[in-house]
């Protein structure tokens, strides 16, 4: 019995379900936060060194590209947090079944994006 195997897998044609999309974003946001650690630690150090470095950091935050970067990092933090809570609830068997997985994925996306918009508007 010979099974026909796919020799070419086009990842752009695969329809990923919402929980899979949330999972990929969870990994991407974790990687982004990990890569941003030196930048975030530099900002913390500069804010605590002296009043001159603090005011220099404030003027650094006036640039639109820096504000955009901070909004992206804020989204990464919020998405990673809410998706992490979702996975903890799945591991504790509080969210079992496909319907609950889809619904919790929607909630993760809604909460992370809406809080990012609210806090990003305050930052801008």
CATH of the domain at 108: 1.20.1300.10
In a domain, 85, yes or no: yes
Which range (1-5, 11-15, 117-121) has the least confidence?
A: 1-5
Domain assignment of residue 6, yes or no: no
Q: Which helix (H) or strand (E) holds 50?
A: none
The mean predicted confidence, pLDDT, of the chain is: 91
In a domain, 7, yes or no: no
Which pLDDT belongs to residue 95?
86
pLDDT above 70 for 2: no
User: What pLDDT, on the 0 to 100 scale, is given for residue 97?
Assistant: 86
Mean pLDDT to the nearest integer, 44-62: 93
Range of the domain at 91: 18-123
Place of tokens 């590209």: 65
Of residues 32 and 1, the one with the higher pLDDT is 32
Q: What is the 3-state secondary structure (H, E, C) of 45-110?
A: HHHHHCHHHHHHHHHHCCCHHHHHHHHHHHHHHHHHHHHHHHHHHHHCCCCCCHHHHHHHHHHHHH
End-to-end CA distance of the chain: 63
Return the pLDDT at 91: 93
Q: Is 120 helix (H, G, I), strand (E, B) or coil?
A: helix
The domain total for the chain is 1
CA 89, 95, 98, 99 torsion-angle sign: negative
pLDDT tens track for 74-89: 999 999 999 999 999 9
Q: What is the pLDDT of residue 108?
A: 97
């Amino acid at each position: 019995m010979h099974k026909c195997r796919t020799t070419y897998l086009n990842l752009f044609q695969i329809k990923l379900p919402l929980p899979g999309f949330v999972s990929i974003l969870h990994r991407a946001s974790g990687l982004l936060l990990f890569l941003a650690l030196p930048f975030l630690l530099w900002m913390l150090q500069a804010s605590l060194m002296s009043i001159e470095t603090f005011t220099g950091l404030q003027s650094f935050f006036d640039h639109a590209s820096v504000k955009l970067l901070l909004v992206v990092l804020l989204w990464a933090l919020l998405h990673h947090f809410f998706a992490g809570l979702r996975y903890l609830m799945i591991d504790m068997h509080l969210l079992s079944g496909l319907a609950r997985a889809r619904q919790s994925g929607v909630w993760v996306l809604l909460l992370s994006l809406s809080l990012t918009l609210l806090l990003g508007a305050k930052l801008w």
